[in-house]
Amino acid sequence: MDFTKLIFDLIDLRSFSNLWYWIALAVTWSSASHWVLGIPYDMVMRARRLGGQAEADLQDIARINISRILYIGREAGMILVTIGAFFLTALAILGFWYHVEFCQAVFLLALPLSIVGLLSLSTAARIEAEGDTGEALRRRLAIHRLTVQVIGMISIFVTAFWGMLQNFSVSILPG
């Protein structure tokens, strides 16, 4: 058995036919919907259920994470947007113009995640501007989580559709 053939069979860059890509996609969206502005969502639920110290802990971690997100956005936001736009454009061109499947797969993961990043920055700014605490904070975090989940579902659907189309087109090409 050829060792290099075995390695390249295990590390298949045809992403849409690779089980590891789909596992990474599921884990990414699961994590994105669980960590709302860097706050584990079970902490939001615990604060709703128990109140008291759990509520105070939620407000403290929300204040810290929101300050951190807004600081990064204010200090390096334009640079991050520029670099992100460059990489997304490069992935889109390589993936869809030059038909590099790996770049298509990364683009279909990175574009919706960048939208979630911008949404997180917007939500953090609204929480800070309106001074949300208590029920208002929990409600804003729940709405943000629901929006992230909807973006994730649309992303998974589009990625699955595109992946099936790619796998189908590869399977019908002559040998």
Kindly write down the DSSP assignment for every residue of 24-37, as one continuous string. Answer: HHHHHHHHHHHEET
- What's residue 4's pLDDT? 74
Q: Which residue is it, tokens 């971690």?
A: 61
The residue extents of the domains of the chain are 61-161
Low-confidence ranges of the chain (pLDDT < 50): none
The C-alpha atoms of residue 151 and residue 60 are separated, in whole angstroms, by: 28
- What's residue 7's pLDDT? 65
- What's residue 11's pLDDT? 61
Tokens of 38: 């860097």
Q: Angle at Cα 87 formed by Cα 32 and Cα 164, nearest 5°? A: 65
- What's residue 17's pLDDT? 79
- What's residue 6's pLDDT? 66
- What's residue 169's pLDDT? 78
